[in-house]
């Protein structure tokens, strides 16, 4: 290998800097399950890339100027050194900016960073060797380093694609181990829960209803991926009677894969709407994927389904005769009726056949009554009496960031920042309408709705105009359909536009009055920031 004096220093600097440069690209990929394509969709990456290109152009210009001076070897060394320092400083500053969901340095993330840095450094090392072998003008090596930021996102995405092949093989080991743990327990009741919305809420409600009769293990938070489920199974013990698995799906095949791991004995299908339409392509594709949850492994397994989905062919046919409808309709085996909602919660009647019980909950919104009905239907099928279900309902707590009521300094805050689907948004505004006082909504709109995204955000704007007195919109470009909906529905209140949520929060002391009710409706991840 032909190396000039100082080349080892530049190789080492390349290794360090390319590791630092990986962070915005890796953050974008991590927010989308490590998909390389996320790198090219991320506004965060584009912003960092523009800064990198400007830095590369500046130092290339400096390099060009020094090319014609007599002591260019010295000045070339300084320009290269300061280039690396500038790049490292830029990414150090970037990594310390406030993020809604910061990059988590998991083992997988560290492996991705190291792999990318090592591969790019190896490429640079080979290029230096070839260059040194073919020219005595060592000053020509510096543009090689200046070019790294220009092509870095493509290089990172390419390396990540290769790394993902090995990660999938590694994940498969954990998934097989999880599947073995679950299926070695022939006595274990396994409940799968999926749907476009309400999954986490129904899971938590069901766990609360069952805990008096069973020892329950449920997936944590919104861990609804293969690795999330696999991680939960590590806590499974012989003492557990029930395992509840929340199952998420953003693409075709996701539910099929999760069903293969868990092989549930029972299942719950909450709802089907246009969430993730962008990745599925059509509502029909979403339905086909979600109804896979009905294919339970037990012959006596029960599938609880929202009554609103009764007309879907797979549900209407009920080929196995194991589908139990839950909801408001007369066709529902588990029914809710006489519902009354207010700003303090809900009361309703829960009925199974001729038996009924009065229920009261602090949870907000009529949609929560329907989620409770789904959980109650499964709990009842698993042997929990109605009176015990009613007792559990009274103690239910809202899921964090899902219509969570917070009392501030003279202002009531409804935190629904986890919501990102049309049905959930309408429910949140329905809840807001129940409150007295000036109504303020803060929202960036909805994403991942494919071709329906603009129309759904327009309709959201029209609904906001009907309910709210103040609309605080996050992101000028993204909220354009919302503003059109507000205008066309004759919104007479105040409209404020901010670049970020944190910027809006800084203005809350000026915008909010005593007695206001503030709805935080959806909060997009960093890769959607303008």
For the stretch 427-430, contacts whose Cβ atoms lie closer than 8 Å and that sit 24 or more positions apart, written own/partner, are 427/365, 427/366, 427/367, 427/403, 428/365, 428/403, 428/519, 428/521, 429/463, 429/464, 429/467, 429/468, 429/519, 429/521, 430/365, 430/366
pLDDT number for residue 120: 92
> Are residues 40 and 22 both part of a single domain?
yes
- Mean pLDDT over 285-309 rounds to 89
Give the tokens for residue 174.
């954990």
> 301 in helix, strand or coil?
coil
383 in the same domain as 410 = no
| pLDDT 10s digits, 306-363 | 998 998 888 988 878 899 999 998 889 999 999 999 888 999 999 998 899 999 999 9
Residue 221, in any domain of the structure: yes
Mean per-residue pLDDT of the chain: 88
pLDDT band at 87 (very low <50, low <70, confident <90, very high): confident
Q: Of 340, 368, 394, which residue constitutes the final position of a domain?
A: 394
Q: What is the mean pLDDT of residues 115-123?
A: 93
- Whether the predicted pLDDT of 527 surpasses 60: no
Residue 399 binned pLDDT confidence (cut-offs 50, 70, 90): confident
* pLDDT reading at 10 higher than 90: no
Q: Are residues 231 and 290 both part of a single domain?
A: yes
The per-type count for the chain, helices as H runs and strands as E runs, is: 20, 15
Q: Which pLDDT band holds residue 100 (cuts at 50, 70, 90)?
A: low
Rounded to two decimals, the pTM is 0.79
In which domain, by residue range, is 104 found?
Answer: 7-168
**Residue 93 pLDDT greater than 70, yes or no:** no
Contact 157, 26 (CB under 8 A): no
State how far the Cα of 195 lies from the Cα of 220, in Å rounded to an integer: 17
Residue 10 CB coordination number (10 Å): 23
pLDDT at 238 over 90: yes
Structure tokens at 131: 């260059």
Dig out the tokens for 333 from the structure: 């085996």
Same domain for 411 and 388?
no
Sole residue written with tokens 């959930």: 424
Per-residue pLDDT band at 529 (split at 50, 70, 90): low
- Domain assignment present for residue 281? The answer is yes
Q: Locate tokens 């012959």: which residue?
A: 299
* Measured distance CA(47)–CA(153) in Å, rounded: 12
Residue 207 inside a domain? The answer is yes
Residue-wise pLDDT for 120-157, tens only, equals: 999 988 888 887 777 776 677 778 888 888 899 999 99
Count structural domains, the chain.
3
Residue 145 domain flag: yes
pLDDT in tens, 18-36: 888 888 899 889 888 888 9
Whether residue 177 is contained in a domain is answered as: no
* Measured distance CA(440)–CA(344) in Å, rounded: 18
Residue 68 tokens, joined = 């014609």
pLDDT at 160: 94
Whether residues 340 and 241 share a domain: the answer is yes
Of 329, 338, 287, residue with least CA distance to 308: 329
Task: Classify residue 2: in a domain, yes or no.
Answer: no
Residue 523 pLDDT exceeds 70: yes
Q: Residue 210: its pLDDT value, please?
A: 97
More confident residue, 172 or 69: 172
- Of 456, 458, 465, 462, the closest CA to residue 480 belongs to 458
- Say if residue 31 is in the same domain as residue 163: yes
Please give the Cα distance from 518 to 516 (Å, whole number). 6
What is the pLDDT at residue 375?
A: 97
- 458 lies in some domain: yes
One domain for residues 450 and 306: no
For the chain, the residue count is 530
| Average pLDDT, integer, range 69-78 | 70
SS3 361: strand
Task: Tell me: do 119 and 86 sit in the same domain.
Answer: yes
Domain end call among 142, 168, 194: 168
- Together in a domain, 24 and 133: yes
Segment 242-267 shows an average pLDDT of 92
CATH number at residue 446: 3.90.190.20
Q: Is the pLDDT of residue 97 over 60?
A: no
Give the domain CATH number at 212: 3.40.1190.10
Residue 351, pLDDT score: 95
Q: Last residue of a domain, which of 394, 419, 445?
A: 394
pLDDT on residue 274: 64
- Are 206 and 279 within one domain? yes
Is residue 151 domain-resident? yes
Contact 386, 350 (CB under 8 A): yes
CA pair distance 379, 243, nearest whole angstrom: 13
| Sign of the C-alpha dihedral computed for residues 40, 43, 45 and 47 taken in this order | positive
- How much of the chain exceeds pLDDT 70, in percent? 93
Q: Are 177 and 53 in contact (CB under 8 A)?
A: no
Are 119 and 211 members of one domain? no
- Pick the most confident of 45-59, 111-125, 512-526: 111-125
Confidence (pLDDT) at 278: 63
Q: Are residues 241 and 304 in the same domain?
A: yes
Predicted local distance difference test score (pLDDT) of residue 99 = 61
């Amino acid at each position: 290998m032909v190396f000039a004096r100082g080349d080892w220093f530049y190789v080492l600097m390349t290794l360090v800097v390319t590791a630092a440069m990986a962070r915005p690209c890796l953050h974008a990929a991590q927010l989308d399950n490590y998909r390389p394509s996320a790198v090219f969709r991320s506004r965060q990456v584009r912003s960092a890339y523009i800064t990198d290109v400007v830095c590369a152009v500046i130092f290339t210009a400096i390099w060009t100027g020094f090319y014609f001076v007599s002591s260019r070897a010295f000045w070339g060394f300084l320009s290269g050194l300061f280039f690396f320092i500038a790049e490292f400083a830029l990414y150090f500053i970037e990594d310390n900016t406030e993020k809604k969901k910061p990059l988590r340095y998991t083992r997988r993330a560290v492996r991705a960073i190291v792999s990318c840095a090592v591969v790019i450094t190896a490429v640079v090392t080979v290029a230096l060797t070839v260059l040194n072998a073919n020219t005595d003008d060592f000053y020509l090596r510096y543009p090689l380093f200046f070019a790294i930021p220009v092509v870095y996102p493509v290089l990172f995405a390419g390396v990540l694609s290769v790394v993902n092949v090995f990660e999938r093989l590694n994940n498969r080991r954990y998934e097989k181990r999880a599947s073995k743990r679950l299926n070695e327990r022939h006595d274990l009741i396994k409940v799968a829960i999926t749907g476009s919305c309400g999954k986490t809420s129904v899971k938590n409600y069901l766990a609360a209803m069952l805990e008096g009769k069973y020892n329950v293990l449920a997936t944590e938070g919104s861990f609804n991926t293969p690795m999330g489920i696999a991680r939960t199974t590590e806590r499974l013990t012989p003492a557990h009677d029930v395992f509840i698995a929340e199952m998420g799906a953003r693409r075709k095949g996701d539910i099929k894969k999760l069903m293969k791991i868990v092989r549930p004995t029972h299942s719950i299908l909450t709802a089907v709407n246009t969430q993730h339409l962008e990745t599925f392509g059509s509502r029909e594709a979403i339905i086909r994927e979600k109804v896979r949850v009905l294919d339970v492994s037990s012959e006596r397994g029960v599938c609880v389904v929202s009554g609103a989905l009764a007309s879907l062919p797979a549900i209407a046919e009920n080929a196995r005769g194991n589908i139990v409808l839950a909801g408001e309709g007369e066709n529902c085996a588990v029914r809710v009726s006489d519902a009354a909602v207010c700003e303090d919660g809900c009361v309703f009647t829960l009925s199974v056949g001729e038996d009924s019980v009065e229920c009261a909950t602090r949870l907000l919104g009529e949609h929560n009554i329907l989620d409770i009905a789904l959980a109650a239907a499964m709990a009842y099928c698993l042997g929990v009496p109605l009176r015990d279900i009613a007792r559990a309902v009274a103690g239910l707590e809202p899921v964090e960031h899902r219509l969570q009521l917070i009392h501030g300094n003279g202002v009531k805050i409804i935190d629904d920042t986890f919501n990102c689907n049309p049905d959930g948004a309408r429910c949140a505004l329905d809840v807001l309408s129940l409150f007295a006082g000036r109504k303020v909504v803060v929202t960036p709109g909805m994403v991942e709705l494919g071709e329906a995204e603009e129309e759904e955000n327009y309709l959201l704007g029209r609904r906001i105009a009907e309910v709210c007195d103040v609309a605080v919109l996050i992101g000028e470009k993204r909220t354009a359909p919302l503003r059109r909906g507000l205008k066309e529905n004759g919104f007479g209140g105040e409209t404020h536009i901010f670049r970020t949520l944190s910027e809006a929060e800084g203005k809350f002391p000026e915008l909010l009055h005593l007695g206001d009710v503030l709805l935080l409706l959806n909060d997009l991840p960093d890769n959607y920031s303008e």
